[in-house]
Amino acid sequence: MRLIRSRILHWPIDQWHQPEYFEDGILLIEAGRVLDLGPAERFIAEGLDVTRCEHYPTRLVLPGFIDPHLHFPQVDVMASFGAQLLDWLNDYTFPAEARYSDPVFAAAAAESFLDLQLRHGTTSAFAFCTSHRHSVEALFCAAERRQLRMVAGKVLMDQNAPDAILDTAESGAQDSEDLIRTWHGRGRLGYALTPRFSGTSSSAQLQKTGLLAQQYPSVWLQTHLSENLAEIAWIKSVHPQYQDYLQTYEAHGLVPKGALFGHCIHLTESETERLADAGGVAVFCPSSNLFLGSGLMPFEALQAAGVDLAIASDIGGGTSLSMLKTLADAYKVCQLRQYVLHPFEAFYRITRGNARATALEGFIGDFRVGQEADFVMIDPERVPLVARRVQSAKDLQGELFIYMTLGDEQLIVETSILGEPAYRASAS
Ligand SMILES: [Zn+2]
């Protein structure tokens, strides 16, 4: 049993403008799950011995952050200079991913990556690995040891990249199926079919992937869509038989409900409508989109058109593992699209909203009784500028906006998995 008395914020219903906030709350955790949550005065009236609580009156406890699109092997290409998407892939990303042909390297990289994530307050993620099967095994082994709720997949790519990172339609499908059978639903782990994007997959590979999606309907599907104008033109030349980018997926059964499409910046009206009708999720990756000069995702317009949305870091195109910094970029991109991203919506998105968009809201993303108790603690005192600025915050929304605009991983003092600390900042 763990009892945390602090300021506590979450979204018990799926509405960003209706958070539940306790200025002096108590979170009770037993066997890794939320046993109860409420105002401290209620627990005191019920006779709880509050001396048993860990008491953090100035901190803010939130559900653990969920990052629904990232590439774990790309940590080593973050902040690579001077390229847009296609050159960035060829010059930096593909050579870096080739190193994962070494299982020892992949295992060490997976451990280090998850430690970094926890330090940034991210407790769950949807990860692209490399085309090497053991890159997925390495990440799952490391995640299982840490008891993380983690979804990952072997990248499928059988053309238009260096040989060292290519599979074939047959080997890609076989490896994916083996990985599904071994890992999907094991503990807190889940599998995502992961065609990198239709530029690096033949029609035969896309076809086989669509069959697997049909055969294993509880498995996720993640890929990229409409990121960069040169990419869209190139896709047209690789798959000239299709009317647009989305159709390269539709034609192979790769737009099941809940499929996660990174970027969706330059969708046509028809693609937007079809994506909404199919129940696909557009994953907004603002840091990456700004860094690679890909464009300004029309977040609000997609929402208005009925497309489900999520917000992600997309490292290594993104420049931080911090979901707080991701929100700062999201706010700025939305400003340029004449939409004001409210701080309640922003924090809802990286917790309950991303859980809902990825069909994990029955497990994580909020503190309803019975939910898995993954959480983060923010301490404004860790960053002098934030500590000073937050003193003049008028209300909770003002405070959250300061965290997302001025904050980063330095604000995170604890990240807990199933109620147990997995990361604790050293005392300063
Ligand atoms: Zn990506």
Rounded to the nearest whole angstrom, what is the distance from the C-alpha of residue 21 to the centroid of ligand 1?
Answer: 33
Closest C-alpha to 301, from 352, 327, 355, 265: 265
Other CB atoms within a 10 A radius of the CB of residue 263 amount to 29
For every one of its 428 residues, what pLDDT tens digit does the chain have, with 9 covering 90 and above?
A: 999 999 999 999 999 999 999 999 999 999 999 999 999 999 999 999 999 999 999 999 999 999 999 999 999 999 999 888 889 899 999 999 999 999 999 999 999 999 999 999 999 999 999 999 999 999 999 999 999 999 999 999 999 999 999 999 999 999 999 999 999 999 999 999 999 999 999 999 999 999 999 999 999 999 999 999 999 999 999 999 999 999 999 999 999 999 999 999 999 999 999 999 999 999 999 999 999 999 999 999 999 999 999 999 999 999 999 999 999 999 999 999 999 999 999 999 999 999 999 999 999 999 999 999 999 999 999 999 999 999 999 999 999 999 999 999 999 999 999 999 999 999 76
- Could you give the CA distance from residue 271 to residue 309 in angstroms, rounded to a whole number? 15
Rounded to the nearest whole angstrom, what is the distance from the C-alpha of residue 225 to the centroid of ligand 1?
Answer: 9
Model confidence pTM above 0.85? yes
Cβ-in-10-Å burial (0-12, 13-18, 19+) of 159 comes to middle
Look at residue 83 in the predicted model and tell me its pLDDT. Answer: 86
Rounded to the nearest whole angstrom, what is the distance from the C-alpha of residue 404 to the centroid of ligand 1?
Answer: 22
- Could you give the CA distance from residue 219 to residue 26 in angstroms, rounded to a whole number? 36
- Could you give the CA distance from residue 4 to residue 21 in angstroms, rounded to a whole number? 14
Radius of gyration of the chain (CA): 21
Rounded to the nearest whole angstrom, what is the distance from the C-alpha of residue 112 to the centroid of ligand 1?
Answer: 20
Name the pairing type of β-strands 155-156 and 149-153: unpaired
CATH superfamily of domain region 2-64+365-424: Urease, subunit C, domain 1 (2.30.40.10)
CB 2 within 8 A of CB 36: no
CB 301 within 8 A of CB 334: no
- Could you give the CA distance from residue 193 to residue 196 in angstroms, rounded to a whole number? 10
Rounded to the nearest whole angstrom, what is the distance from the C-alpha of residue 123 to the centroid of ligand 1?
Answer: 19
Rounded to the nearest whole angstrom, what is the distance from the C-alpha of residue 364 to the centroid of ligand 1?
Answer: 23
- Could you give the CA distance from residue 407 to residue 390 in angstroms, rounded to a whole number? 11
Rounded to the nearest whole angstrom, what is the distance from the C-alpha of residue 32 to the centroid of ligand 1?
Answer: 31
Distances (CA, A) of 119 to 123, 323, 363: 9, 11, 22
Look at residue 407 in the predicted model and tell me its pLDDT. Answer: 97
Identify how many contiguous H helices and E strands the chain contains and give both numbers.
17, 16
Name the pairing type of β-strands 260-263 and 2-10: unpaired
Look at residue 211 in the predicted model and tell me its pLDDT. Answer: 98
Architecture of domain 65-357: Alpha-Beta Barrel (3.20)
Rounded to the nearest whole angstrom, what is the distance from the C-alpha of residue 127 to the centroid of ligand 1?
Answer: 9
Rounded to the nearest whole angstrom, what is the distance from the C-alpha of residue 368 to the centroid of ligand 1?
Answer: 31
* Residue for token pair 């763990």: 2
Q: Give me the residue spans of the domains in the chain.
A: 2-64+365-424, 65-357
Max alpha carbon distance in the chain (Å)? 70
Look at residue 427 in the predicted model and tell me its pLDDT. Answer: 78
Look at residue 242 in the predicted model and tell me its pLDDT. Answer: 97
- Could you give the CA distance from residue 292 to residue 250 in angstroms, rounded to a whole number? 27
CB 312 within 8 A of CB 352: no
| Backbone angle region of 214, left / alpha / beta, with phi > 0 → left and psi within -120 to 50 → alpha | alpha
Rounded to the nearest whole angstrom, what is the distance from the C-alpha of residue 193 to the centroid of ligand 1?
Answer: 14
Q: Spell out where 334-374 has E strands.
A: none
Other CB atoms within a 10 A radius of the CB of residue 247 amount to 17
